[in-house]
Chain A
Amino acid sequence: MRGYLLRRLPSALLVLLGASFLIFTILRLVPGDPASSLAGPDADAATVAAIRERLGLDAPLLTQYAHWIGSLVTGDLGPSYAIGGQVSDLIADGLGATAELTVAALLFVIVLGGAFGILGATSRSGWVRSAIRVTTTAALAVPPFVSGVLLVLLFAVVLGALPPGGRVSFLGAPDLAAQYLLLPALCLALPSAAVLGRYLKDGIERALAEDYIRTATAAGVAPRRLLWRHALPNALPPVVTLLGMQTGHLLGGAVLVEAIFAWPGLGQLAEQGLSRRDYPVVQDLLLLLVAVFVVVQLLTDLVYAWLDPRIRWE
């Protein structure tokens, strides 16, 4: 396994390098200029030029790019342009909150998606299967900014059972923190849970129709064991790949959901950074997302090989 990881490392680094180049280029192509937005609308050309020089924006683009990559390698990300403070501190502040939201959403995806998939494939009741089909279709069709508002309306405004937004640290009051986390995590998780549920349902149905299930049935294996020990392990590998890709969606979706639920995470930082053309913050943040995604993909491949003995790590 270690050998496999070492062999995957160069391509992972290459992906990161390519992504950094794209991020850098695209940010420069977006209209607007950090210096003039910092100087304000009434500043004269000389002030703007001075700010440009201070930020190093007058240097050739290639130098700026090399400077950024250098800062990544040394680990000293430097100060932000507009928000204030060190970039590494800003990211560290938001990272905990976003990680909390994403991991909670991932758990919802696994539990809800698993339930949708298993019940959808095995329930004998047509009513249950229809209910699952309707629920998953709705979860897929309604975007988070609509479902989020609806969830707040129902649970916070009408029922008054859960807070409409904000975050409380798990370290102080875990029960209260969970209440604050529930709605944003659910809102973020619903579309991915629906996708996962549908794939899992198809996978289980396909596996249950395979010859080896007939073999096990003929051997007298009980129906419950047929599902959990024989069919499910065969349905899982493609679903794990899907889950890996959905993690990317969750990270991207977190930006939106954080805005709806006033969740103080990286999403809000990204939104501020973009609107104020704070290049270092946005660049580092986007690259961090890419890096997380690359690591998740690597983990996915490892889990896949672990689940399917025909695949090897070599």
Chain B
Amino acid sequence: MTHQPTSAQDLLQVRDLGVEFTAPDGSTLRAVRGVSFTLRRGETLAVVGESGSGKSTTALALTRMLPGTGRLSTGSVLLDGQDLAAASAEELRAVRGARIGMIFQDPMTALNPVLTVGRHLDEVLRAHGSREKHGRRQAKAARRTRAVELLDRVGIPEPHRRIDDHPHQFSGGQRQRILIAMALAGEPDILLADEPTTALDATVQEQILTLLADLNRETGTALVLITHNMGVVARSCARVLVMYGGTVVEDGPTAEVLTRPRHPYTAGLLAAVPRLSAPSGTRLTGIPGSPPDLTLLGDGCAFAERCTLVEDRCRTGVPPLVELTDGVRAACLPAAARTEPLPAPAPPARIDRPATGAVVLEADGLRKTYKRRGVRGRGFTALDGVSLTLAEGETLGIVGESGSGKSTLARVLAHAHPSDGGTVRLRGQDVTRPARRELHAVRRQIQMVFQDPYASLNPRMTVGQIVAEPLISFGLGDRDERDARVAELLTLAGLDPAVADRHPRSFSGGQRQRIGIARALAPEPSVLICDEPVSALDVSVQAQIVGLLTDLQRDLGLALVFIAHDLAVVRQVSHRIAVMHQGRIVESGSADDICENPQDPYTRALLAAAPEPVPVKPALRKTEVLA
């Protein structure tokens, strides 16, 4: 282990970090290349990027926790001068938890289901010392007292009573609090949080971010927050590091980077983020193309293929990260040559939306209760008297948090689940409980696009077979006609018809969602129900899919139900919005009205919790205004 002098303020110095994986075919995948940054004591640093940008890999590489074949190929990680890249396993163990605490994305799987919460905290405390000081029993009692204190600190109510509960007895937000308590137990100098709020609802996300900010202020623990969400960056961190294709492309003070981006990728990303302030009926700006395949990366700039400023020299060498202005560094050759920041993106363009037509779908008083397992369990009411109407060429946005009944509503409308009460009318005809033959006809009229573009396509079928499946099941056309129709549908969804012979695994998330849309359009439905169609996609790709849906609606006169938890996207695509809470529609109206003049307290809470990618001055933080 080497000790090298660093500035007294510098807590962590990462120099030229490189991480490689060995792919199953034996090729080398360079997930992180030449990443360098410095973290000061008590600083808040955001690492932002889309999937495959190397942000999580960088975080895991700091304490050498890389999964599978991952290994550090170059560089050093100096923690107060101690090089973690060269440290022994025992030295690393002493750092993990004690000097660097980590929080991970999914609180549902990050806690051990068979251990109590008290045991979780006890494990961290005993791993770092407080074991042999006094007698065994006293040490154990002391650890328990400390565990109760920690749970209290992160806001678990009645910690002395709940310490012996198991993880499944806590909500998602509470589990994330418990994970934060674990990360804090060793009183670390650095808290490394990898997408800590991605799996949580917006209102819970707000609480967790507030907790992290409080901890940073009170304990002086430096915070490294890894996220894909520009709003979270703006809300929580003073400095930001933007990653793309395994490299740092820009880094600097959040206020500067978010308002005057220097790297074209940062600018594109910021333009692609849907903003609550953008009115209904405007088009989101995406970045053309999709994130790079790390196995195919050449020597040049990783962003060159999608960049509007690309020059020949960009393709020959990785551009160095150079300081352009006070504290802002960018790795872009064309940007380095210019003195001003990139021009601000044009405001979102308005779309010409044709007037909406006659009512297609009408639901009145829909009810659905799921039975709990066991005989005596009370049911869970997912839908509690939901009524709505949907017209030709209209998009109805449905927003709400998890458990609000959005997906149940989608399934009941699509006749995937029967409702327990209420009526559904399709073009005036009652189709609530159709006979078998009638159901077939109803399903042809109402099609669905699903959330997860990875799980909703059969990996054994070719794209052509997947898109042709509805044609076969509805008995449309002979083989030649079907082939022609599949080609037509793929073109409609923005794909090359030649891809029909390939399997879903060779497509990116955005392309898979296009395949899912082509499949849904195959039987020429009049209603398309999209259940969180873009929430699994990167921001730069999200805009492409939303744009595609809008174009299809205009060209085909589709009636769209657009379900999402992100209010900003919903506002932009929807004519009207219905806000769901505990199985009821608490408020509905025109998209702009709902977002600008919300009436229901729950709608207001949702709007307040949505983080905007605009840097906030500490004095103006929403929570402090409320307090």
Residues of A within 8 A of B (CB): 210-212, 214-222, 225, 229-230, 233-234, 307-310, 314
Contacts and interface: CB of A to CB of B under 8 A. Distances in A.
B104 interface: yes
A222 B127 contact: yes
Given A219-B123, A222-B127, A309 B114 contact: yes
A225 B126 CA distance: 11
B343 interface: no
A211 B113 contact: no
B97 A234 contact: no
A222 B115 CA distance: 16
A214 B56 CA distance: 13
Interface of B: 63, 65, 67, 93-98, 101-102, 104, 106, 109-116, 123-124, 127-128, 166, 168, 179, 182-183, 185-186, 374
Per DSSP, chain A at the interface is: helix
B114 A307 contact: yes
A186 to B, nearest CB: 32
B55 to A, nearest CB: 16
Given A217-B65, A310-B166, A212 B112 contact: yes
B113 A310 contact: yes
A156 to B, nearest CB: 45
A216 B374 contact: no
B109 A212 contact: yes
Contact of A219 (B67, B124, B166): B124
Contacts of A218: 63, 65, 96-97, 101-102, 104, 183
A29 B4 CA distance: 87
A233 to B, nearest CB: 5
B112 to A, nearest CB: 4
B123 A225 contact: yes
Given A215-B182, A309-B113, 11 more contacts: A210-B109, A214-B104, A217-B96, A218-B102, A219-B97, A219-B127, A219-B182, A220-B127, A234-B112, A234-B114, A310-B168
A212 B123 contact: no
A221 B114 contact: no
Per DSSP, chain B at the interface is: loop
Contact of A216 (B112, B128, B185): B112
A221 B128 CA distance: 9
A219 B114 contact: no
Nearest to B99: A220
Nearest to A207: B112
B97 A229 contact: no
Given A215-B104, A219-B123, A314 B110 contact: no
Contacts of A229: 115, 123
A208 to B, nearest CB: 11
Contacts of B97: 218-221
Given A217-B96, A218-B97, A220-B128, A308 B123 contact: no
Nearest to B125: A219
A219 B113 contact: no
A215 B110 contact: yes
A269 to B, nearest CB: 43
B110 A219 contact: no
Contacts of B113: 212, 234, 308-310
Q: Which of B67, B93, B183 has the most CB of A within 10 A?
A: B93
Contact of B186 (A210, A220, A233, A307): A220
Nearest to A216: B123
B211 to A, nearest CB: 18
A314 B541 CA distance: 48
A308 B114 CA distance: 6
A214 B105 CA distance: 12
15 contacts: A214-B65, A214-B110, A215-B102, A216-B123, A218-B97, A218-B104, A219-B123, A219-B182, A220-B97, A221-B97, A225-B127, A230-B123, A233-B114, A234-B112, A314-B374
Contacts of B111: 212, 215
Closest 5 CB pairs of A and B: A220-B97, A218-B102, A219-B97, A212-B112, A211-B109
Contact of A309 (B98, B104, B106, B166): B166
Contacts of B67: 214
A216 B95 CA distance: 13
Contacts of A309: 113-114, 116, 166, 168
Nearest to B166: A309
B64 to A, nearest CB: 10
Nearest to B68: A209
Contacts of B104: 211, 214-215, 218
A314 B377 CA distance: 11
Nearest to A234: B114
A308 B98 CA distance: 30
A308 B101 CA distance: 28
Nearest to B98: A220
